[in-house]
Structure 1
Amino acid sequence: MRLIHHPVLANYYVTYRCNAKCSFCDIWEKPSPYIQLEDVKQNLADLRKLGVNVVDFTGGEPLLHRQIDQFLEEAQKLGFITTLTTNGLLYPKWAERLKGKVDMLHFSLDSADKNEHDTGRGVACFDFVLESIKVAKSLSERPDILFTVFKHNLHQIERVYQEICLPNNLMLLLNPAFEYNQVETGEQLSEAELGYLVKFSKQKWVYLNEAFVKLRKDGGNHIDKPVCKAASTTLVISPENELVLPCYHLGAQKFPISGNLLALYKSEEVKKLIALEGRLPACEGCTINCYMQPSFAVEMNSYWWKALPSTLKYNLRKGTWKRMLS
């Protein structure tokens, strides 16, 4: 049963450029412009009219954009919940200007071992994450640690939790890695390893959407009965000011926004693509977290119930639960 019939999230790519070269991502290989402030203002107004509640300013590395603080400020003026994930390299430089503007601030950290983390990210950023934590805390910010889980770093979860999260009162977000396009993430987690994640997530200040685990055990999205509602729950906007459908990772079609996102999203051409969400050949077996999370939130089914406890846990911790309900 569909509970929400409008999009709830915008993944706003401010640039595809990145100052890291993560082994599990190909976005940094793409040439990219930077989004323009006037386009952001217009698009945010239209996103609000469409019912979107959360705007994730993403990339690439979003802090490479020199106007990122202005984007966040505009989003907050319109009442959006704002999210931003960074590798930490530039956060100390930006911290003062970002203070109070990011509701859900995530620092990416995949190991408590400096060499292991930096090798996976393709750049020496471990020390910058630790520095970013100190700076954020000095400004009374409450960042989270986003841990992308692979088979090879599963053993590091306990160390990151005990050595970094607990001493700093940070929430640990467990993000099971996913494959897309030609990007490989190694051997997938076994059922026993997924069970370990679920068990670990029962501790305080640890977040895991258990619907992610169920989806993997079920073999991912199936095109004959799709779980994915990517196009109807999430608007993806590119640095070129295009609407990307059905999602960034497939990017089947791109539509120039041309100053009227509202009309574009409601156009017949876009509606036809939305109707194909989760049903395209490339959608078979998909487990991409950033589109499954909103998909689980809009339709009452077994995934909705699995996602509910962790969603409540996280939003109660962040103080955003009332705004989520709106």
Structure 2
Amino acid sequence: MRLIKHPVLCNYYVTYRCNAKCSFCDIWEKPSPYVTLKNVQENLLALKKLGVKVIDFTGGEPLLHQQIDQFCALAKEMGFITTLTTNALLYPKFAERLKGMVDMLHFSLDTADKEKHDAMRGVACFDFVMESIEMAKSLGERPDILFTVFEDNKEDIQAVYEKICLPNDLMLILNPAFEYNQVGDSLSSKTLDELERWGKKKNVFLNQAFIELRRDGGNHISDPVCKAASTTLVISPENELVLPCYHLGERSFPINGNLASLYHSTDVQNQIATEGKLQACEGCTINCYMQPSFSVETSKYFWKSLPSTFKYNWVKGTWRQLV
């Protein structure tokens, strides 16, 4: 049964440009403009009308945008929950300007081994993460460590948890590597079992429904669990609405200052109706779309997702805004 029929999340790509070259991501290879403050102002007003609760300012590397703090401040003033994930290379530069503007601030870190992390990210950023943790704490911020889990770094979870997260009282977000349309890496059954155990520990967030979905073989087009297009609005740096999700990008619709009316248009609604049903959607496990998909419709994934989602939002203090 569908509980929420309006979009709840916006993945707002402020640029596709990135100052890292992660081995598991190709977004940094794309040419890209930067979004404008005018378009962000217009679109946030429309997103509010559409019922969106959470704005994820993303990229590329979102801190490459010189006005990112203004975007976050504007979203906060309008009552949105704000999220931002960074490789931390530029966080020391923006820390003061971002203070109090990001509800869910994530620093990407995939191992406690400096050389290994920098090799995975294609740039020397480990030291910047460590510096950013100290700087954020000094400003009263509560960043999270976002750990993308692969088969070849799963043994590093322990060290990140014990050496970095617990001493600094940081939440460790375990982000299982995902697959879609024959892209990405799968995790073994043994690794999934290990992650499930990790998710029960203090200061660890792991959506248990992610594990269940992988055990079930991901999204199935015959009975799709994915509600990517109806729960999540994807806005590109070109100021276009991208459907049914960023990763497939079947169609892009110019917004032209009319996001709300565009969303309700026949063409967009017809594209939304394809969510989870396209051939490329078979087996998909993309976390950023499954998280909101699980939250709007009662299913076994909804119930699996509920405890961990409540745990994280209780710790972050954002649960009140989601009710």
| TM-score normalised by L of structure 2 | 0.99
Match of 1:63, SS state, is helix
After TM superposition, give the deviation of residue 178 of structure 1 in Å.
1.1
Partner of 2:50: 50
Partner of 1:296: 294
Post-superposition Cα deviations, 1:100-137, rounded to whole Å, max 9, x if no partner, equal 00000000000000011111100000000000000000
Partner of 1:228: 226
Residue 104 in structure 1 maps to residue 104 in structure 2: yes
How far, CA to CA, are the matches of 1:189 and 1:251 in structure 2? 25
Post-superposition Cα deviations, 1:204-244, rounded to whole Å, max 9, x if no partner, equal 10000000000000000000000000000000000000000
Aligned residues of 1:25 and 1:183 also touching (Cα < 8 A)? no
- Identical counterparts, % of pairs: 72
After TM superposition, give the deviation of residue 184 of structure 1 in Å.
3.6
Match of 2:134, SS state, is helix
Structure 2 residue runs without a partner (length 5+): none
Aligned residues of 1:24 and 1:183 also touching (Cα < 8 A)? no
How far, CA to CA, are the matches of 2:173 and 2:184 in structure 1? 22
After TM superposition, give the deviation of residue 77 of structure 1 in Å.
1.0
Match of 1:222, SS state, is coil
Partner of 1:147: 147
Partner of 1:129: 129
Residue 38 in structure 1 maps to residue 38 in structure 2: yes
Structure 1 residue runs without a partner (length 5+): none
How far, CA to CA, are the matches of 1:33 and 1:62 in structure 2? 12
| TM-score normalised by L of structure 1 | 0.98
How far, CA to CA, are the matches of 1:160 and 1:248 in structure 2? 30
Aligned residues of 1:181 and 1:249 also touching (Cα < 8 A)? no
After TM superposition, give the deviation of residue 279 of structure 1 in Å.
0.2
After TM superposition, give the deviation of residue 192 of structure 1 in Å.
1.6
Partner of 1:194: 192
Residue 113 in structure 1 maps to residue 105 in structure 2: no
How far, CA to CA, are the matches of 1:275 and 1:183 in structure 2? 23
Match of 2:179, SS state, is coil
Partner of 2:279: 281
Match of 1:151, SS state, is coil
How far, CA to CA, are the matches of 1:289 and 1:200 in structure 2? 17
Post-superposition Cα deviations, 1:147-186, rounded to whole Å, max 9, x if no partner, equal 000000000000000000000000000000113457544x
- Where does structure 1 differ by over 2 angstroms across 4 or more consecutive aligned residues? 179-185
Aligned residues: 323
How far, CA to CA, are the matches of 1:57 and 1:181 in structure 2? 25
Q: In the alignment, residue 143 of structure 1 is paired with which amino acid? A: P
How far, CA to CA, are the matches of 2:93 and 2:180 in structure 1? 32
Match of 2:237, SS state, is coil
Q: CA RMSD in A?
A: 0.8
Match of 1:227, SS state, is coil
Aligned residues of 1:111 and 1:117 also touching (Cα < 8 A)? yes
